[in-house]
């Protein structure tokens, strides 16, 4: 707004008075301006938005171990596990996942002398030795694994063969970085001939542990192909889905990618890489049907361990070359970004049409009720349980 002021010819006093009045008018008009004088701002008008990670989207370095058991030698296998754990921790790993049955061994190629209607004496002796290589949970080997996790300040997911009386279970144990044992998952469905040597887990050991580095759980080998088991884990909020396995086929990678996409979670698949010489020689240990074709350096399990993101991107692996530590950095913000697309137990569910009930209490085969009716004893574990 422009103001024009004319100065009349008048005595100097009147001129001074008029000048003061004119100045006051000009100031009033300035205050009435529709557009105020702009304020000078230094720097950009809008702050730049950083689309990268931040404190609300932490990054976790994870490692899957691809290595062979020292078969029938649990103390030596524990020593090997500690060496691998120390090496992974030296690279900055915060979470380390071992293969299925790493402690106790995966009895690849063995049939334990079983045919329908018959079990051989040699097969029974093989089972005795296998049973002796398994570990009690809890037990001294569990204590040592916990100490390892605490020593190297890592979260540890370890595949073991668990001995409960005279029944064996294919189990995963979980430990935190403070050296505490968190719990276990027992394989709910052994595959094919595995059923002659391993028992069946129940719904009481399908945990997902909430930790500072994310919600961690596990499913073992082909139980990963069970949609209802996966759904139960998704419902518990799993973010880091560990998949110890014994399957080294190419098609396994398709399952792992599908689970990552379906669950909106990171999938960490750990498998052994082993050669014939990693097992005892014949006749002590025989690969049924293929022993004559195998040389000591023949690969009997090719690994294929991998880490896959919630978007289905392969972050590391699959590795088919040999024993290895396979690592990747997990941006946990990827979980929320994936769930925005598809949340299988959230906005993409239809519970009024499809729902799942999980029986998550222990299924003891035998219970003894006291006279008062409020105490029971599990025959398998000798544990006293109070009725609810």
Instruction: Give the pLDDT band of residue 285 (cuts 50, 70, 90).
Output: very high
pLDDT of 107: 97
Mind listing the pLDDT tens digit for each residue in 40-80?
Answer: 445 443 333 343 445 667 999 999 999 999 999 999 999 99
Integer angstrom CA distances of residue 335 from 92, 131, 309, 324: 22, 40, 8, 27
* Cβ count within 10 A of residue 12: 7
Catalytic residue, chosen from 87, 100, 141, 321, is: 100
Residue 93 and residue 297 in contact, taking contact as beta carbons nearer than 8 Å: no
Q: Which domains does the chain show, CATH number per domain? A: 59-341 (3.60.110.10), 358-388 (no CATH)
Q: What percentage of the chain carries pLDDT values higher than 90?
A: 77
Mean per-residue pLDDT over the chain, rounded: 86
pLDDT of 369: 86
Q: Is 100 among the catalytic positions?
A: yes
pLDDT of 30: 47
Strands 375-377 and 384-386: antiparallel
DSSP 278-297: GSPPTTTS--TTTGGG--TT
> Alpha-carbon dihedral of residues 365, 133, 279, 287, nearest 10 degrees?
-30
pLDDT of 314: 97
């Amino acid at each position: 707004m422009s103001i024009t002021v004319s100065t009349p010819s008048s005595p100097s006093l009147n001129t001074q008075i008029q000048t003061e009045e004119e100045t006051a008018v000009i100031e009033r008009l300035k205050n009435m301006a529709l557009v105020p004088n702009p304020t000078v701002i230094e720097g950009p008008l809008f702050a730049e938005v950083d689309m990268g990670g931040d404190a609300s989207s932490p990054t976790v370095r994870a490692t899957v171990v691809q290595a062979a058991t020292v078969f029938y030698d649990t103390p030596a296998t524990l020593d090997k596990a500690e060496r691998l754990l120390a090496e992974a921790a030296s690279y900055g790993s915060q979470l380390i996942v071992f293969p299925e049955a790493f402690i106790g061994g995966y009895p690849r190629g063995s049939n334990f002398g079983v045919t329908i209607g018959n079990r051989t004496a040699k097969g029974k002796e093989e089972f005795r030795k296998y049973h002796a290589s398994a570990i009690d949970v809890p037990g001294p080997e569990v204590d040592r694994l916990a100490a390892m996790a605490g020593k190297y300040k890592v979260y540890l997911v370890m595949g073991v063969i668990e001995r409960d009386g005279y029944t064996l279970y294919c189990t995963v144990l979980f430990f935190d970085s403070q050296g505490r044992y968190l719990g276990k998952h027992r394989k709910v469905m052994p595959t094919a001939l595995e059923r002659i040597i391993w028992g069946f887990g129940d719904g009481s050991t399908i945990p997902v542990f909430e930790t500072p580095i994310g919600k961690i759980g596990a499913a073992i080998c082909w139980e990963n192909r069970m949609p209802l088991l996966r759904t139960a884990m998704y419902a518990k909020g799993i973010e880091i889905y560990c998949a110890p396995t014994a399957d080294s086929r190419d098609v396994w990678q398709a399952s792992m990618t599908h689970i990552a996409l379906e669950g909106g979670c990171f999938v960490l698949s750990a498998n052994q890489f082993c050669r014939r010489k990693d097992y005892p020689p014949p006749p002590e240990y025989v690969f049924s049907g293929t022993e004559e074709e195998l040389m000591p350096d023949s690969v009997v399990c090719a690994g294929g361990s991998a880490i896959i993101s919630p978007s289905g991107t392969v972050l590391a692996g699959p590795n088919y070359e040999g024993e290895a530590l396979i690592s990747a950095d997990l941006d946990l913000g990827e979980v929320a970004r994936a769930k925005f697309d598809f949340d299988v137990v959230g906005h993409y569910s239809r519970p009024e049409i499809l729902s799942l009930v999980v029986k998550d209490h222990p299924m003891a085969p035998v219970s003894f009720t006291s006279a008062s009716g409020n105490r029971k004893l599990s025959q398998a574990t000798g544990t006293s349980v109070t009725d609810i």
